[in-house]
Structure 1
Amino acid sequence: MLRLLVVSAHLPVATGAGPGVHVYARFRGVPRSTRVVPAGRSPTWNETLVWPLATRPLHPTDSLALRLQLWGQPEPHRLLGATMVSLSCLAEDPGLPLDLGQLPLQDPQGNPMGATISLRCSCVPPGKGAAGNAGSQQPKQVAPCLSPPRPTPVVGTTMGVTPCRHAKPAAGKKEDFQVRVRILEGHQLQGNAIKPVVTVLIGEQRFRSRIRAGNNPYYNEVFSQHFHLTPAQLVAVPIHIQVLNSRAIRADAIIGAFKLDVGTVYNAPGRRPRGMLCALQGHRAARR
């Protein structure tokens, strides 16, 4: 079963036309639509659309076609933006939901329209019911993130760079890429009675994890950002991971930080280094 949680959208200006807006989605030729909500600048749905997979598991070539539309308007004036979401990452790892925040929408010619949409895709493979879902929520693949022998605070992560098109991009041509950072867990974080939270900066987009408790918190959260760049521009995009104590005042909140660029991930085998242990720098180093 494929689940699409349509969270919200952002429009550059309020349309003020028609009774409202809705999201139209199509998967394997089967259409679904959200309810119609008022056409403000930030329409919100928090609505889940479902497609049964029957006996056909998700395939890396599958994709979701999305359209943000004005309700009741003729076709030339209905479209507020559209995009195609590749489900290749979800097909390879069905237990890892695909979170897409502020996904840019385009016109039929591929030009940005200024609108964005936020959504979450998840998958239950055929033959797996509620019991399979329960099992997928348990911590898994923790072995690569065992504590190191020395007391260095670390955060376990996996990262990936995925071209949103299946063809290999030309070196000097702009293409659509998705950069994903998965925060697994922290080990031996410094402090007493801490409640750590992780912030992830991918380019200029900042994400924030849930707040956990203790020196060895478990997160298993995924953050992703889309880019329309050439590969040469993409590899220079920074990734900054910072662990903060949510209970501390701002000046003493930083537990540690780790920095790298997308090029480190892009040049890894399969563009997906697995089970990275990021040794955190202390708060003094992080402020430099």
Structure 2
Amino acid sequence: MKHKTFIASYYIKKLIFLLITLVLLLILSCSKNIYQESKKAYKKQAKTLGKSLRYIQPDSINTQAFNVIESQNFSLRKPNFIIIHHTDQESCEQTYRTFALQRTQVSSHYVICDDGTITQMLNDLLRGWHAGNSTWGNVTDLNSVSIGIELDNDGEEPFSYAQINNLTWLLKNLTEKYKIPKQNIIGHADIAPGRKVDPSALFPWKTLAESGYGIWYDETKLDSVVIDSAFNPKKALKFIGYNISNLENAIYSFKLHFNPSDVSKTLSEKDKKILILLEDEILTLK
């Protein structure tokens, strides 16, 4: 009897093992199909866009059609901003899947994993869907003029050395290729105050700026800054680029970026001094 029980137990365990293996194979197969499907759709859409550029479809005013005379002097439009995000997902694999599925309607040009692995998911010249409803200065459609970079991070953990090191390398490559000004390297929270908080208060903006990407204030001048009675912090935030339609949200996003050790919706004396120094920094770049 014991022998029969042992045999039955053996076959049950074997059956469970086979079922688990089958499930894993099915998951792997589905994942491969997702990426194959996404790759096929990418090529089809890119081909369609390419064809649409070969001809000018004349428009009209009332019943009068526009004339069309093709000029030979042109090139593709280029990105002028880089927007940095954190994924707020569990892994790079989950992010790849999110960007590969059509139903999510989100994408980014690059994903950088915790170990520094860089994966490109869109051609730099394509319009990614990463910025959403956003504003920076007079720009109200950041998706059309930017490259999105996603960092694998849940927003509650430090960014790894390998991740930041390879981000710096990628920024060097992109800024040189497209002549993107360093002040145009910003975060998702900067362009969407009150809606987004990435890449979190743990992101090393100062370190990045010291490498030449993004801006920071001169900390050696902080103690000597005098706040004039005519200083208008709201105007200063707007000058930097923040959407101040909701001032508290703009302040919160500003502090996430430039004073992450004291994130709140009110400006301190230090914040006002930082704003003054940032205004000076931006003026020297113009």
Specify which structure has the higher proportion of strand: 1
Bin of the TM-score, shorter chain as denominator length: under 0.3
TM-score under structure 1 length normalisation = 0.27
Specify which structure has the higher proportion of helix: 2
* Higher CA-based Rg: 2
